[in-house]
Homo-oligomer: A and B are copies of this chain.
Amino acid sequence: MKSEFDPRSLFSISYGLYIASSYSGDRLNGQIVNTVFQVTASPPRISVCINKENLTHDFISESGVFGVSVLDETAPMTLIGTFGFRSGRDANKFENVGYKAGTTGAPLVTEHVLSVLEAKVVDAMSVGTHTIFVGDLLSGEVLATGSALTYDYYHKHLKGKTPKNAPSYIESESKQEKIEPEKGANR
């Protein structure tokens, strides 16, 4: 049943850009994700898909909670780079970023963010390199009005690249553009 597959057919899927976050003891971490969505209305549940190699994956698995900060279009590449192209194993990503602790303990970014959400994991499914975490919403707050940063906007206007651990990573992208982020760099 294997047939023709043009990778460009995936490019028209729409995504936002978010910082998914969690904690372990007094350590905080977060990473850029494009895979947040609401899965049910009653009760309100959201899901996020995270690479198993990433530190945020470990923290969510351990704490059973995650935060989501919805980036807006004003988010600068420095903020996106901090959470998208560095590993929390090497540095405290929250050191120079505005954030607050959520009711779950997960850090919620407060700059260039439209809203923040927190969820308690109720189920998780391994999908190969990644895990889909599903969580009951525990809190949700609107921080600002504005336009959500979309993956499309990020690529077109910010000329953003896709880290190697992202679900939408395409090998040819890094080759063509002569940039290859460290494997696992979006941890």
Contacts and interface: CB of A to CB of B under 8 A. Distances in A.
A179 to B, nearest CB: 16
Interface string A105-144: 0000000001111101001010111101010011111100
B152 A148 contact: yes
A24 interface: no
A92 interface: no
A41 B168 contact: yes
Instruction: State how many copies of this chain the complex holds.
Output: 2
Interface in A13-55: 13-16, 34-47, 49
A133 to B, nearest CB: 11
Contact of A39 (B4, B114, B132, B134): B132
A8 interface: yes
Residue among A38, A103, A123, A130 having the largest count of chain B Cβ atoms under 10 Å: A38
B120 A1 contact: yes
Q: Which of A5, A39, A120, A141 has the most CB of B within 10 A?
A: A39
Contacts of A167: 37-41
Nearest 4 Cβ contacts at the A-B interface: A14-B16, A9-B140, A9-B115, A12-B114
Interface of A: 1-16, 34-47, 49, 70, 72, 103-104, 114-118, 120, 123, 125, 127-130, 132, 134, 137-142, 148, 150-152, 166-170
